[in-house]
Structure 1
């Protein structure tokens, strides 16, 4: 009975928090940019949707922010946000190389990285050293690319979008492709002919904003995201897409671990 009462109070809690933070950011006009990377952010029938997209819509609404959203190649999105003040990019892996380049609102999710191979491939990968000997593909400017470079991968086959990298993998033009575990699960559910080759590190994914964005705007968005997490609404968004939630465990991680 107590638990039911708490659940009934959650919508009122979120509304109350939104009422207190919205004035701080009211009047802000932000451009959120993202890429085609299901299930976090993708376009369908001309509509941008996904787990991270739904969260960003709610964050903006709760923080009283006026905004627009665009979808574009990832490398272009990152470059645009570094150059334009009122811009944020998502869903952005928060690593040590990017840490000082943006202001962060997080976590939109916490996920595990996985190296995948073509279904039925005889390739066996037990370590990253094994993977470095093979043909590996990634997206230009994507966290997966940064992940590979930091770990000593040299000749990486680059593409502008994950769909292109996936096509290369399925057509045996590359041997391996790094992605998040949740994205892998989404691709498999859609019929992609791939399977796991190697599980790797966990990662925090975030909303990354231009360094000159107003502190009160960033703070309002972070407060809104915190409310989504505490109320369970973030978990509900994951559930709508048929995926297990990130949960509050993400709050105990640091982005550069």
Structure 2
């Protein structure tokens, strides 16, 4: 058999999409990406990095692709995005149950400190540019939630599924909850370094992913992580 071509992929640990457990990587988008790339004749080599580093390494070609990135005008110039997304992300506000804050719209955040993930782009321009509350960056989802528990921030914005998963890991699911109102949402992609070879692969990956999503194996992966609503 022909030897699979290696492909270096980076991301940040972001359960249930990609994370490490008992020394092995797993996650819904990790599993799907591995399967589709394998069908295309590629062997994915994975590295978990801080998000800013993952962005930098993919932009300069140290890595071939970055997992679970959302597009914006700047990123569309830096990376090659396939047509087909892997998942969708919904960002909500988490808060301590014993320190609730009203939230029916962004104006309710006036004067508050909101924890954010460093280097993340939330697909809500008003949230990103508003000057009536402060945005306090943290290095990871876990770090953001610990900032919340230590009262360094009033609320934390993060992907709903990632927040719920991390709360269970930290044993904080009875102390922290989230508002139902979605602040931003958008598609998540495997984006590639901007080069002719990667542009061709992005097209093949998009087609392969679209086909794989119609398979029973794709549904089995979703069920494995309790994400059948995708």
Classify the TM-score, shorter chain.
0.7 to 0.9
Q: Give the corresponding residue for 2:116.
A: 138
TM-score by length of 2: 0.85
Deviation at 1:174, TM superposition (A): 0.6
Q: Give the corresponding residue for 2:11.
A: 34
Please, which runs of 5 or more residues in structure 2 have no aligned partner? none
Aligned residues, how many?
222
Mark the CA change 1:182 to 1:169 in structure 2 (over 3 Å): closer, same or farther. Answer: same
Deviation at 1:224, TM superposition (A): 1.6
Deviation at 1:231, TM superposition (A): 1.9
Q: Give the corresponding residue for 1:254.
A: none
CA distance in 1, matches of 2:96, 2:60: 38
Q: Give the corresponding residue for 1:221.
A: 205
Q: Secondary structure at the match of 2:220?
A: helix
Q: Give the corresponding residue for 2:100.
A: 122
Q: Give the corresponding residue for 2:220.
A: 236
Q: Give the corresponding residue for 1:100.
A: 77
Mark the CA change 1:34 to 1:160 in structure 2 (over 3 Å): closer, same or farther. Answer: same
Tell me which of 168, 178, 182 is aligned to 2:161. Answer: 182
Q: Give the corresponding residue for 1:77.
A: 54
CA distance in 2, matches of 1:90, 1:146: 21
Q: Give the corresponding residue for 1:208.
A: 191
Moved more, 236-245 or 38-47: 236-245
Tell me which of 43, 64, 68 is aligned to 1:87. Answer: 64
CA distance in 2, matches of 1:109, 1:96: 20
Please, which runs of 5 or more residues in structure 1 have no aligned partner? 1-22, 247-257
Mark the CA change 1:221 to 1:51 in structure 2 (over 3 Å): closer, same or farther. Answer: same
**Greater helix content:** 1
- CA RMSD, 1 decimal: 2.4
Moved more, 178-187 or 78-87: 178-187
CA distance in 2, matches of 1:146, 1:102: 21
8 Å contact 2:59–2:78 — kept in the other structure? yes
8 Å contact 2:148–2:156 — kept in the other structure? yes
Deviation at 1:78, TM superposition (A): 0.5
Q: Secondary structure at the match of 1:165?
A: helix
Q: Give the corresponding residue for 2:44.
A: 67
Q: Give the corresponding residue for 1:109.
A: 87
